[in-house]
Homo-oligomer: A and B are copies of this chain.
Amino acid sequence: MKFNETLKDITLYEAGKPIELVVREFGIDPKDVVKLASNENPLGTSPAVANVISEHASKAHLYPDDSMYALKDGLAKKFGISDSEVIIGAGSDQILEFIARSLLSPQDSVLMTKITFAMYEIYAKQMGAKIIRTPSYVHKADEFIEAYNKYKSKIIYLCIPNNPIGDCMTKAEALKVIDAVERDTLVVVDGAYMEYASFKDKACEITPQEILKYPNVIYLGTFSKAYGLGGMRVGYGIANEALIRQISKMRPPFNITSLSLAAAIAALREDEFIARSLALHAEQLIRYEEFAIKNSISFIPSYTNFITYLFDEPLNSTEITDALLKQGVIIRNLASYGLNAIRITIGTAKQNDRFFDSFLPLLKRL
């Protein structure tokens, strides 16, 4: 059977290893596994949201409200925008997919930093587009503008703050890029971790409302991180109505489960839970910075809910990740991104103790 040419060049996303796999492969009791690999909220699902999910469990036979009226309305009120300016995706990932499929063809290129969220490349390659990367892995406006002027890319991805690195472009720098590009180029402001960045530094904060001033910019947000719903697959895109209408043509019906919709709607009321999550994170992040300094490990100052430790030989990120995995501590090896580095989700105090206790002997041994 003759498959489309683009399939030949497709790379697959490497997901953080699930607890189930560690249980299966190493026979570790699930309760002894610490997963700091997928940037999930260590406080878990808010109890109020978990209750809403349970209340809806017996209605799992009913298809979701495909208009997603209540969730769009909740987001519109939260951000002071109109619900026609909102699109809902199965994670903000899926909105990246809609965007790529609406705009890209093999004649186009897309622009991103040297190391950033893998799905930008994957969806662009599915459409046969060429991938252009800035020389630096952190976001630098001048590098974006220079590359844009050369390649006139159809889509520019700004990951603010940047996953899996942790750096954050300021709003001023982001606007510099946005102002430098033509109106037929789409700029994606991916704010999946924005709650963490804006909590740390107001200079990084970009709101969906201010994005709406630009007809060629879309803001992406998610319920997977600070909102504690990584397993439910709900993200959102916010842009002017005309753009939303176009990319909505690629949205399949019922792309969000009934329970995901109910959970996301409930999560919008969880301001206290979010505040508590951000405070815990800020407090625990310092421990990772102090640990790194004390043990002479390079790290990238983080504006996200994870931190990236950079190694020099003989320290090897693959060996370290594997050794931790065998002890039931799951973190993310960044070797597939071309870095001798690991990414650790900032967990609860107890989870982080477990990481430090397992990691320190490995450092000493090598």
Q: Which residues of A contact B (CB under 8 A)?
A: 1-4, 7, 10, 12-13, 15-16, 18-21, 24, 35, 38, 40-41, 43-45, 47, 49-51, 53-54, 57-67, 69-70, 90-91, 93-94, 97, 101-105, 119, 126, 183-186, 215-216, 224, 228-233, 243, 246, 249-250, 252-260, 263
Q: How far is the CB of A361 from chain B (nearest CB, A)?
A: 27
A258 touches B246 (CB 8 A): no
A60 touches B104 (CB 8 A): no
Q: In the complex, what residues of B have CB within 8 A of residue A250's CB? A: 7, 126
Task: Find A93's partner among B24, B90, B254 (CB 8 Å cutoff).
Answer: B254
Q: How far is the CB of A230 from chain B (nearest CB, A)?
A: 5
Q: Give Cα distance in the complex from A183 to B2, angstroms.
A: 10
A40 touches B63 (CB 8 A): yes
Task: Find A21's partner among B21, B67, B224 (CB 8 Å cutoff).
Answer: B67
B50 touches A10 (CB 8 A): no
Q: In the complex, what residues of B have CB within 8 A of residue A1's CB? A: 103, 183-186, 215-216, 243, 246
Q: In the complex, what residues of B have CB within 8 A of residue A67's CB? A: 18, 21
A253 touches B15 (CB 8 A): yes
A15 touches B254 (CB 8 A): yes
Q: For residue A123, which residue of chain B has the nearest CB?
A: B252
A97 touches B60 (CB 8 A): no
Q: In the complex, what residues of B have CB within 8 A of residue A54's CB? A: 53-54, 57
Task: List 14 contacting pairs A-B, 8 Å CB cutoff, sorted by A.
Answer: A1-B215, A40-B63, A44-B58, A44-B59, A45-B57, A50-B58, A59-B231, A94-B252, A126-B249, A231-B258, A231-B259, A232-B257, A233-B256, A257-B260
Indicate whether A232 sits within 8 Å of B246 (C-beta atoms), given known contacts A1-B183, A3-B102, A45-B57.
no
Q: How far is the CB of A45 from chain B (nearest CB, A)?
A: 4
Q: How far is the CB of A132 from chain B (nearest CB, A)?
A: 18
B21 touches A231 (CB 8 A): no
Indicate whether A13 sits within 8 Å of B253 (C-beta atoms), given known contacts A41-B61, A102-B4, A246-B7.
yes
Task: Find A252's partner among B41, B97, B246, B253 (CB 8 Å cutoff).
Answer: B97
Q: Give Cα distance in the complex from A255 to B91, angstroms.
A: 9
- A62, A65, A259 — most chain B CB neighbours (10 Å): A62
Q: Give Cα distance in the complex from A59 to B33, angstroms.
A: 14
Q: How far is the CB of A34 from chain B (nearest CB, A)?
A: 12
- A59, A60, A67, A91 — most chain B CB neighbours (10 Å): A60
Q: Give Cα distance in the complex from A10 to B4, angstroms.
A: 21
B44 touches A231 (CB 8 A): no
- A59, A105, A233 — most chain B CB neighbours (10 Å): A233
Q: For residue A228, which residue of chain B has the nearest CB?
A: B61
Closest 6 A/B residue pairs (Cβ): A231-B258, A53-B57, A18-B65, A15-B66, A54-B54, A61-B228
